Structure 1
């Protein structure tokens, strides 16, 4: 895995390797990440990356949040309670030298604390088929993590519907991965 574009373009990220079967790490592939960020940068959703605070829920390796940081985001908060994921995120932050612009919360994404700052771009990549995405999204919204008008990028194995408090913008399919785009009301 590598950063696709921006300040850290071409930089390699820590390898998941065989990983920990219990960690359920399923990093977004470089191809899907590149297509996703091309969509985000294409103007359809305004300017969702530049100078924003990003929340990366179920962060895994942190690749989505780090890609956003590379492309101009101001700050990224990573949330993942996995021990393997936490190590990968910390290693990737160290590799890119961006500790000052990041924060790691080692906690279940469905049990977030109150936010210090609302975020304008949210990546949501829960374990497939466990129905954790909506729960995490609603908890983040209730605890002040999601700014009004924020763009939510939800990666799942199927297209998702907009829960209360959100508007559905679009669905995109990349092989067996579905990206649902939502806007916070």
Structure 2
């Protein structure tokens, strides 16, 4: 759901709170080393175990972290800050809001999908094979009532009654 840049911005923003310019410089150096190491891992044979980290994703993440630490250092230098304050970082705060909006949208979509799945469990979906003459009659009724054949069958089922003697009856009704 989050890109490497999103993950880097989030973690750097959290880790950077209250750091001095010197400490940010150390983070830049560390990220540069890790970026180089992950690039080298890309050239090494790939570990095929199911628990192995994705070397490309890891390389992207460290590259993004390196870029973000450099952005923070430049911001601190230009603003004259002694320590990094994430709340004063307008660009970082905007990215955080955008990320949270995307996250909330995804959660809302998932909740709607889950609700739809719960409601679908209460529905009955059936494939009915009808003889040609019955099928033609059903399509003619559907066309004259401006309903689909499925809607006509649903209306019939809604108005059907099972009597005590086992007979099935349908009282006359106007399709809606």
Name the structure, 1 or 2, with higher relative contact order (CA <8 Å, separation 6+). Answer: 2
TM-score (norm 2): 0.23
Structure in which a larger fraction of residues adopt strand: 1
TM-score by length of 1: 0.22
Q: Which is higher, the Rg of structure 1 or of structure 2?
A: 2
Q: Normalized per residue, which structure has more helix?
A: 2
